[in-house]
Amino acid sequence: MANEMRTFVTVKSEDPKVAKKLQEIFKPREGEYEANALDVINNIKGTDYSYSNETTKEDWDKDVDFPSDALWEEMIGPKWLYVEYDHADLPTNCNIVLRTAWSVPFPFLNILRNELQTIDEDCYLVGSYEDESYDPSGAFVYGKFDYDDAEDWDEEYDWDEAEEDDFYTEKWHDEIYQLERDVETAYIDYLSDRIANPQDYEGF
């Protein structure tokens, strides 16, 4: 089975309509407790795609009833995606964890950012990611003007030290959290500079 990557997403917006949009995007199918990649695509695109073994449709046709490879790559990226989502009235308080095969779902983060910015143009995403082996781990930000940045943490996780030090993993996560703050700060600095010096960004 493929390694599982977990991506932890915080949506930076104070608009309750953004939280409502998140709830719509991450709505699972009836009878399910979490959304998967097809649910996300269907909720965003208004389609009715399904897996062949999860439908009662007798004449299921992959070319019609399942996303094309190009659409999957554009909207999801990894082979599979599941969403752990806990709703709150404010977007920043919504808990979002994306579980994917092998890699961070960067295409989906881009799509999610774009969808939410149709409601709040200042909305941006920030968060962290970690493979179950902790390699890679890192942080990202997706903001205005198609800004995005992702930085892998360059320190190797020491499994031997983790066995000896009960607080090693906690300290590891503290370092990843600081990296997350750093990439967010770089984005905020970029926005400030773009506002102060718009002439430097003409054509971007």
Per-residue model confidence (pLDDT) at position 30: 87
Encoding tokens for residue 119? Answer: 């409601």
Query: For the residues 99-106, what does the mean pLDDT come to?
Result: 97
In degrees and rounded to multiples of 5, residue 15 shows phi and psi of -90, 115
Report DSSP letters for 68-89, one per residue.
Answer: -HHHHHHHT-SS-EEEEEE--S
Q: The pTM is what?
A: 0.95
Encoding tokens for residue 178? Answer: 């600081």
Q: Hey, which residues does 36 pair with through a beta bridge?
A: 82
Sign of the C-alpha dihedral computed for residues 151, 138, 148 and 3 taken in this order:
positive
Per-residue model confidence (pLDDT) at position 31: 86
pLDDT band at 2 (very low <50, low <70, confident <90, very high): low
3-state helix, strand and coil shares in percent for the chain, rounded to the nearest 5: 45, 20, 35
User: If you average pLDDT over every residue of the chain, what do you get?
Assistant: 95
Instruction: Name which residue leads in pLDDT, 57 or 179.
Output: 179
3-state secondary structure 153-187: CCCCCCHHHHHHCCCHHHHHHHHHHHHHHHHHHHH
Per-residue model confidence (pLDDT) at position 116: 98
Res. 176: pLDDT tops 80: yes
Report domain extents, the chain. Answer: 4-201
pLDDT band at 53 (very low <50, low <70, confident <90, very high): confident
